[in-house]
């Protein structure tokens, strides 16, 4: 990803320097295990660790690869330059390139998942804080973009919290699924390397041995991992879309923080645009973009091909770097989000009392009016409010049929906002415990 949408800690996971360091650790730990088994001399295994503090020369490895046309061989050649040709002659004994590449890739994905999990925890903390802050802040709920019934801003934050909490569970599951390594040799039969080597290497890297690999770790694991990232991205867009709607001039129930010196438009000085959440909507598309290629990588020829390789070299860093940035940005947006309770109340009262129509409908049915007639009685008064913005309660009080069924006091009591918020505490207890 371009630096504009990147954060250093996640970028570092995907740097060539980090990759080669992981490759080196895989090879060195494998040598230790083979020495324990008596497959290679102990002194050769120990010699490999002479490079433990080496900063591998990326340019030199690229130079070698330009000749060999093979990245792992280029690295092994460069490693021998540091360790010594004779001392390094048992490095990669019985292994195949995918043992190094796949195990490294999964180490990187696990590290990336750890960052994403912490990012999500930070977002959850921000959402919870704002939910509690605005638990009782009344706003109109909308369906199809149209006023429906009263809710609270706290419930809006709470539902986003619950969604992100499910995403936290998804990320933890994805991390667990991708936490495997394979050092099983050509076509995965362990013909040239003992399974104990795989067990040792995986233990050193905090991975579990892949129960059965071919020449690669099965890609359904990776498909599930990237699918989880896609769901998280969709949730980010879900939150962002709500904020973008609330910031519309004719709504203005909430808005992104507008910093000192910030400019909204090159042409119109008055503009304060929801640029951060619009940006997040776009970034969510980029993360979701990797899901289908990851799923298409599952079907490889026989024990392996490398049709997945070029895809993963791109989607691994791109998806995790983008999602890391997006989660951090959304956390900042939520933390600083400006809330306008007065505007929320004004919007709800644009058509005075209209949002109480269902309560009146239910009261009429409970008073003995059949549902079809009750619906007609309420709707004929509601439509007047739509057309003239008159007061819904006044229209009901002037409707003889409604008054006959409910009485004046019966109509009056149906316009208490507290009716719609009486179970907020119950919902909060379900969400936050």
Please identify which of the residues 85, 144, 270, 302 carries the catalytic annotation. Answer: 144
Q: Residue 80 in contact with residue 88, Cβ under 8 Å?
A: yes
Residue from 217, 193, 215 nearest 207 by CA: 217
Phi, psi of 151, rounded to the nearest 5 degrees: -140, -160
Query: Annotated catalytic, 265?
Result: yes
Please identify which of the residues 15, 70, 208, 265 carries the catalytic annotation. Answer: 265
- Alpha carbon separation from 399 to 58, 69, 327, 410 (Å, rounded): 83, 86, 53, 13
What's the rounded Cα separation, in Å, for the pair 378 and 370? 12
Phi, psi of 414, rounded to the nearest 5 degrees: -80, 5
Both tokens of 353, joined, read 């009392």
Query: Annotated catalytic, 144?
Result: yes
Q: Provide the 8-state DSSP code for 214.
A: S
What's the rounded Cα separation, in Å, for the pair 347 and 153? 13
How many of the other CB atoms lie within 10 Å of CB of 167?
A: 24
Supply the DSSP string of 146-158, one letter for each residue: EEEEEEEHHHHHH
Region at 182 (left for phi over 0; alpha for psi -120 to 50; beta for the rest): beta
* Alpha carbons within 13 A on the beta-carbon side of 79: 27
- Calculate ∠ Cα 336-7-54, nearest 5°: 150
Q: Provide the 8-state DSSP code for 180.
A: E
Residue from 383, 385, 426, 328 nearest 10 by CA: 328
What's the rounded Cα separation, in Å, for the pair 60 and 67? 11
- Strands 146-152, 138-143: pairing is antiparallel
- Strands 146-152, 254-255: pairing is unpaired
Enumerate the β-bridge partners of residue 151.
139
- Alpha carbon separation from 73 to 92, 105, 193, 430 (Å, rounded): 10, 17, 19, 56
What's the rounded Cα separation, in Å, for the pair 207 and 216? 15
Residues taking part in catalysis: 144, 265
């Amino acid at each position: 990803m371009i630096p504009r949408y990147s954060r250093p800690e996640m970028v570092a996971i995907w740097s060539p320097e980090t990759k080669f360091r992981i490759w080196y650790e895989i090879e060195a730990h494998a040598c230790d295990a083979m020495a324990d088994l008596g497959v290679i001399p102990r002194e050769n295994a120990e010699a490999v660790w002479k490079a433990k503090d080496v900063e591998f020369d990326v340019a030199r490895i690229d130079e070698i690869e330009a000749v060999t046309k093979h990245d792992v061989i280029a690295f092994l050649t460069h490693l021998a330059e540091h360790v010594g040709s004779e001392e390094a002659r048992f490095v990669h004994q019985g292994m195949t390139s995918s043992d190094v590449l796949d195990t490294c890739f999964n180490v990187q994905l696990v590290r990336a998942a750890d960052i994403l999990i912490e990012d999500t925890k930070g977002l959850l903390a921000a959402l919870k804080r704002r939910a509690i802050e605005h638990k009782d802040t009344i706003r109109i709920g909308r369906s199809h973009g149209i006023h429906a019934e009263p809710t609270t801003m706290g419930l809006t934050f709470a539902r986003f919290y619950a969604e992100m909490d499910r995403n936290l569970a998804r990320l933890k599951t994805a991390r667990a699924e991708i936490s495997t390594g394979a050092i099983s040799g050509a076509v995965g039969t362990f013909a040239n390397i003992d399974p104990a080597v795989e067990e040792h290497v995986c233990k050193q890297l905090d991975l579990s041995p892949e129960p059965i690999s071919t020449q690669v770790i099965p890609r359904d694991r990776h498909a599930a991992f990237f699918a989880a990232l896609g769901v998280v991205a969709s949730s980010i867009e879900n939150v962002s879309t709500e904020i973008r709607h609330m910031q519309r001039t004719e709504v203005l129930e909430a808005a992104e923080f507008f910093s000192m010196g910030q400019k909204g438009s090159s042409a119109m000085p008055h503009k304060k645009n929801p640029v951060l959440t619009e940006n997040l909507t776009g970034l969510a598309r980029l993360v979701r973009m990797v899901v289908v290629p990851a799923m298409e990588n599952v079907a490889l020829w026989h024990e392996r091909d490398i049709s997945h390789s070029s895809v993963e070299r791109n989607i691994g860093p791109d998806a995790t770097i983008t999602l890391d940035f997006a989660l951090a940005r959304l956390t900042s947006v939520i933390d600083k989000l400006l809330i306008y309770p007065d505007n929320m109340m004004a919007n709800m009262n644009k058509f005075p009392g209209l949002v109480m129509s269902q309560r009146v409908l239910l009261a009429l049915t409970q008073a003995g009016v059949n549902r079809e007639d009750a619906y007609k009685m309420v709707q004929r008064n509601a439509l007047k409010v739509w057309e003239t913005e008159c007061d819904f309660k006044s229209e009901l009080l002037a409707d003889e049929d409604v008054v006959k069924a409910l009485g004046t006091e019966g109509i009056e009591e149906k316009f208490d906002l507290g009716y719609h918020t009486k179970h907020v505490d119950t919902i909060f207890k379900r969400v936050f415990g």
